[in-house]
Amino acid sequence: MSAPLHCLAFVHANVYKDSVALMRVAQRLLALPDVVNATLQMGTAANKEILLEAGLMTDALNGAGPSDIMVAVQARTRAACETAGVECKAQLAGSGAAATAATDVMAPRTLAMGRAAMPAANIAQISVPGGYAAAEALKALKLGLNVFLFSDNVPLAQEVALKQEAARRGLLVMGPDCGTAIIGGVPLGFANNLRRGSIGLVAASGTGLQEVTTQIHRMGGGVSHAIGTGGRDVDAQVGGSTLLQGIELLAHDMSTQVIVVVCKPPAPEVTAKVFAALQQARKPAVVLMLGSTPQPSAKQTHPIRVVRTLVDCASAALQLAGVTPAPVPHYAIPPKPAFAASQKHLRALFCGGTFATEAQVIWAESGLQVWSNVALDPALALSNARNESRGHTALDMGDDAFTVGRAHPMIDQTARIERLLQEAADPSVRVVLLDVVIGWGAHADPAAELALAITQAKRIAAQADRELAVIGFVCGTELDPQPLVKQEAALRAAGVVLAGSSANAAWLAGQWVQ
């Protein structure tokens, strides 16, 4: 029986930090010896509920207000807890050398101050707790700024109102819960370093947008703009507001020759509007609605290709843009290993929710039944995904069920590594499938950290006379801060069978458990 953890909880009063900044501090604390959990949340009622569900809420945090930071740390020793507390306070106070460098310029503290300091700016990036996000976004719109709204937990009614106001002002609201965008080569949120080019994208899918754009880059093409919308944009209540605006903007953009739309299946009325907007745009287009293959009107006057996977989407866009695809690197597939009789199941541990969706579509087409916390078939929904796998299982570990008390797995891989080792010890597991997403905002060297865990997982299986197959892929480019070739080399060295795309990795994993 493991020893009980030591806990530390305190309130850092009257200091606001956005969610990304708090994630970064938590990640630094988790890197300290013997620290097993660290979370920093603004003291809103919703965040208190999250901590309560995670078992991290204590009396010390009850008095926190919305403008206070709640800090909760769990460690194996009391000394480790105290060290983490000191480091956390130093990080929040900005006591590092870079933070304390002398400056004569006060950083803007409001959107109005920021606009005054940068009168040519036309986009505001907002990452505040969901309860405040709509108010800040509305302020930005009134200042004449387009909005990239990273914040989540924004009520649906507020999203609808914001997007209606933006449309009236001829502005764009990307989000809420918009994880990535690239506007004129400038990355917002989680994004990759891409070649500029003639293909413009608009997507209600964060990692889906990253996979398509990076595949376009790797095939020799380039991106003019990549507009995120937030996942709810294609719901009937929102009506595809930002998606349709994005298509119109790309239609009038001189640098865009081909338009790409990526999303999960929209409401039927939104689907019809998307195809109508693409016809009106009068530019060749590619449409990917994962899990659905709607067909454009027979009266179409410009090519509209409907595809089924993310890599197909990139390839079709290049063809329409007249770009000759670059030679595809060879990804050697070894013979199928000799698995033990008990090994029957597939376990997929994804950072990207879109990858979990795409994989389920591919597996369903081959007759594979896969349980998931983001199941396409409600009958295959896991009721306790944090602690349970069942048969073939695919997990979106960026879902709220896994990020309570932790940063997103693209930043903090701790929860995914723990689950990998758990699955390795299960005698029924034959194949584990992993994605690695790189780029700005992501973990500084995810493959190196993951490789150590993969080596350990394979050792766990080998000690029980089993061979564990690990299949993976990297979403990124050689221009990213964590270069693609370095990430792939680290994974290969750990015994990962690499595929060149998310779809190919899912297909191979399915083949090896058939």
DSSP assignment string, 71-98: EEEEESSHHHHHHHHHHHHHHHHT-STT
Residue with tokens 């670059």: 326
Phi and psi at 303, nearest 5°, equal: -60, 130
Q: Comparing C-alpha atoms, which of 4, 1, 2 is closest to residue 81?
A: 4
pLDDT at 98: 40
Phi and psi at 34, nearest 5°, equal: 70, 5
CA distance 111 to 143: 8
> What contacts 75, CB < 8 A, 6 or more positions away?
5, 6, 8, 32, 34, 35, 36, 81, 84
Q: What burial class does residue 32 get, using C-beta atoms within 10 Å of its C-beta: 0-12 exposed, 13-18 middle, 19+ buried?
A: middle
In terms of DSSP H, where are the helices of 175-240?
206-218
Query: What SS3 state is found at 259?
Result: strand
DSSP assignment string, 142-156: HTT-EEEE------H
pLDDT at 103: 42
Query: What SS3 state is found at 18?
Result: coil
CA distance 411 to 339: 33
DSSP assignment string, 353-399: HHHHHHHHHHHHHTT---EETT-SSGGGB-S-TTT---SSEEEETTS
- Type of residue at 106: M
pLDDT at 14: 87
- Type of residue at 186: V
Pair 44, 131: CB distance under 8 Å: yes
> What contacts 418, CB < 8 A, 6 or more positions away?
none
Q: What is the 8-class DSSP label of residue 105?
A: S
Please identify every stretch of the chain with a pLDDT value under 50, giving residue numbers as ranges: 96-104
CA distance 69 to 30: 17
* Cα→Cα distances 342→170, 337, 425, 513, Å: 60, 14, 12, 12
> What contacts 288, CB < 8 A, 6 or more positions away?
208, 212, 260, 261, 262, 263, 306, 307, 308, 309, 310, 312, 313
Residues 400-438 as b/e (b if ≥16 CB within 10 A, e otherwise) read: ebbbbbbbbbbbbbbbbbebbebbbebeebbbbbbbbbb
Pair 43, 67: CB distance under 8 Å: yes
pLDDT at 293: 84
pLDDT at 300: 66
> What contacts 168, CB < 8 A, 6 or more positions away?
none
Instruction: Write out the two tokens for 262.
Output: 């990526």
Helix H, strand E, coil C: the string for 447-506 is HHHHHHHHHHHHHHHHHCCCCCEEEEEEECCCCCCCCHHHHHHHHHHCCCEECCCHHHHH
Pair 214, 461: CB distance under 8 Å: no
- Type of residue at 185: G
Q: Comparing C-alpha atoms, which of 381, 362, 364 is closest to residue 373?
A: 381
Query: What SS3 state is found at 300?
Result: coil
- Type of residue at 314: A
Q: How far is CA 476 from the centre of its chain?
A: 13
pLDDT at 23: 80
The C-alpha R_g of the chain, in whole angstroms, comes to 23
CA distance 447 to 461: 21
Instruction: Write out the two tokens for 77.
Output: 């020793």
CA distance 120 to 506: 45
Q: What is the 8-class DSSP label of residue 234?
A: G
Q: How many CB atoms lie within 10 A of CB 237?
A: 11
CA distance 400 to 408: 9
Pair 145, 122: CB distance under 8 Å: yes
